[in-house]
Structure 1
Amino acid sequence: MKNLLLFFALISVTISCKFYDAAPEPVETPHKDSTIVDVDKDKNGCLASAGYIWSKLNNECVKAFTGIQLNPADNASTEDETLCAYVLFNENADKAEIFLPDDISFIVTKSGSSKTWIYNDYQLVAHNGYELKKAGVLVFSGDGEIGKKVSGSDNPEGQE
């Protein structure tokens, strides 16, 4: 009887060890692509995380902040680019697209030989740079230089 018990114990241990040592059967799972596609693109295919937005004037994705920066009239010294408007001109400079901080853009058209571009009650005026007025009230202005404005210097004073 002792031998019989030993025999069953030995078989139980052998079977249970093989059960746990056996590699699990591979399970077929559908392959999922780990790349994210079109999650960050707008309806025109512009990559928002890289700063691109759709230009109605140029019919392509552009970085508006590479245009002429206009600061808010009530906060002209701001360094917060999200509060600024930007202007991009076409090649002839007879039209310009204005990008406002609230993701609205519109195209202004030059009025004759004057230095004024107009759209509805908006006027872009070339005056010591550019001024954007709405119904005659100044809302944005800038020096007319293209690109981001930097108020300080990367170099300590006196070094070049």
Structure 2
Amino acid sequence: MKKITTLLMTVLIVSSCRLIDQQDDANEKPTVAVTTKDSTMVNDKDENGCLASAGYVWSKVNKECVKGFSGIQLNPTGKQDNQDETLSAYVLFNEDASQAEVFLPKDTASIVLTRGAEGKPWILKDWQLVPWKGYVLKKGAVNMFSGDGEIGKKEIETDTQQ
């Protein structure tokens, strides 16, 4: 009888310990691993979904994300041999060329100029884009930027043959 009682007590103690361990496991809150964000995974899309870190901006006239340094490059007047793309303005046209969107250096928003008729300049307030030996962008009576009308980056004094 003593052996049975001892055996029952041992089984009861062991099973109650297991029950307590199971309840403790159930009551524990799961731990969440805290990690720092990888800078390459940060979402830097603008309100239109353009990926700014890749150089994309929203084109108002084309209604799509475009590379910031795409379009027709206009260099600052007096610095036609400019190699710094960040000092240049860029022009994109809509399909029928009735509107010209100008991305000015150091401005986050573009300006949209409208053309009255073919052969006439595109105008917005005191800005004018004049088609003359390429394009000339004027603010008031002052020539601010000009370019040859070629799309893309201009390379000056390169040692590669074209």
Question: Does 2:100 align with 1:81?
Answer: no
TM-score, scaled relative to structure 2: 0.72
Runs of 4+ in 1 over 4 A off after TM superposition: 31-35
Question: Does 2:152 align with 1:147?
Answer: yes
TM-score, scaled relative to structure 1: 0.73
The percent identity for this pair of structures is 57
CA RMSD of aligned residues (A): 2.2
* 1:48 alignment counterpart: 52
| 1:106-125 deviation line (CA, Å, top 9, x unaligned) | 11111223331111100000
The amino acid across from 2:75 in the alignment is N
* 1:124 alignment counterpart: 129
Given that 1:46 and 1:54 are in contact with CA atoms closer than 8 Å, whether structure 2 keeps it comes out as yes
Given that 1:87 and 1:99 are in contact with CA atoms closer than 8 Å, whether structure 2 keeps it comes out as yes
Given that 1:71 and 1:140 are in contact with CA atoms closer than 8 Å, whether structure 2 keeps it comes out as yes
* 1:30 alignment counterpart: 32
Long gaps (5+) in structure 1 = 1-26
The amino acid across from 2:110 in the alignment is S
Residue 73 of structure 1 and its aligned partner are, at CA, apart by: 0.8
1: CA distance, partners of 2:114 / 2:54: 29
| CA separation of 1:154 and 1:32: change in aligned 2, threshold 3 A | farther
The amino acid across from 1:42 in the alignment is D
- Give 2:61's match in structure 1, choosing from 54, 57, 61: 57
2: CA distance, partners of 1:32 / 1:93: 52
Long gaps (5+) in structure 2 = 1-28
